[in-house]
Amino acid sequence: MNRIETNIYGDLSIPYLGCGTWQITKADDMKSVVKEAYSLGYRLFDIAAAYSNEITFRKAIAENNIPRDELLISDKVWNTSRGYEKVREACKASLHKIKTDYLDFYLIHWPASKKLHDNWEEINADTWRGMESLVYDGLVRNIGVCNFKKEHLKALQKTSKIKPVIDQIEFHPGYMQAELYNYCLSESILIEASSPLGNGQILSNSVLKEIAATKNKSTAQICLRWAIQKKVTAIPKTTNTDRLKENADIFDFELSEKEIALIDAIPFCGGLAIDSDEVTQFG
């Protein structure tokens, strides 16, 4: 198996593949995932305050004797901690839980929703100011966002001093959010694919199956290869150690332009597809 390659994207160098951890809360699962992932060459781990797994993750690193400086830890601030002061407090609380001096990536989990907040633009700008201050204080190396649409990004750019390096959005065959994808490319904002396997719901798609058969690969591997050929970093989640290996075994083949076009054209066939302006349950 090939090692995980690096996505060089403007000034940012980040692995093409990281480990998603949403719904990995059990200590034993986290320990075995972190151990196996690390030995396979995964270095980027995507955790979140909202996943309640920061402490479990820290224990997994410690129990597996993994040096902190070999990891890229990406954490997220939850919606209840928006605003300059609160985001600073939340970050410090997360650092304390993980027992680290810094985060490699710190992301806003969701933009303030238009449905709930008339002043969404102001709230996001104030939260971002707090994120920037964390960089100035040396607590965070890179800051970014999740689930931001083009409009949210454009609004943020009116007042930001530091540009978001990442927009982590749902991105998979059947849901590539082409307009947002193209906007991020034009702005040199890296797309990080959350749910790159459509939350496990798209793997029986017939187009993916046909291409997978010709390449002697699984449909999951086709989804991930498609993402990385689009300069997207993907963070699939699995608690199955064989699948961790399978998901990383995508650097020894290429999809043709024709195959990529076929995958681009797949209509929605599964996934979460949450519109960040429509949701109300996330605050």
Ligand X SMILES: NC(=O)c1ccc[n+]([C@@H]2O[C@H](COP(=O)([O-])OP(=O)(O)OC[C@H]3O[C@@H](n4cnc5c(N)ncnc54)[C@H](OP(=O)(O)O)[C@@H]3O)[C@@H](O)[C@H]2O)c1
Catalytic residue positions, numbered: 51
> What distance separates the 2 farthest-apart alpha carbons in the chain?
54
User: 40 phi and psi, to 5 degrees?
Assistant: -85, -10
Only segment of 14-22, 93-101, 126-134, 257-265 that touches ligand X (CB under 6 A)? 14-22
- Least distance (Å) from ligand X to the CB of residue 24? 7
**111 contributes a contact to ligand X by CB under 6 A:** no
The radius of gyration of the chain's CA atoms, rounded to the nearest angstrom, is: 18
Q: What angle do CA 85, 87, 90 make, to 5 degrees?
A: 110
For ligand X, the closer of residues 161 and 172 by Cβ is 172
- Asked if 56 and 25 count as a contact pair (C-beta separation under 8 A), the reply is yes
Choice from 36, 46, 75, 167 touching ligand X (CB under 6 A)? 46
For ligand X, the closer of residues 257 and 272 by Cβ is 272
Please list every residue from 225 through 244 that binds ligand X, using CB under 6 A. 235-240, 243
- Asked if 247 and 208 count as a contact pair (C-beta separation under 8 A), the reply is no
- Asked if 140 and 94 count as a contact pair (C-beta separation under 8 A), the reply is no
Q: Give dist(CA 197, CA 193) in Å, integer.
A: 9
**247 contributes a contact to ligand X by CB under 6 A:** yes
- Least distance (Å) from ligand X to the CB of residue 212? 11
Residues that bind ligand X (CB under 6 A): 20-22, 46, 109, 146-147, 168, 194-200, 203, 218, 220, 235-240, 243, 246-247
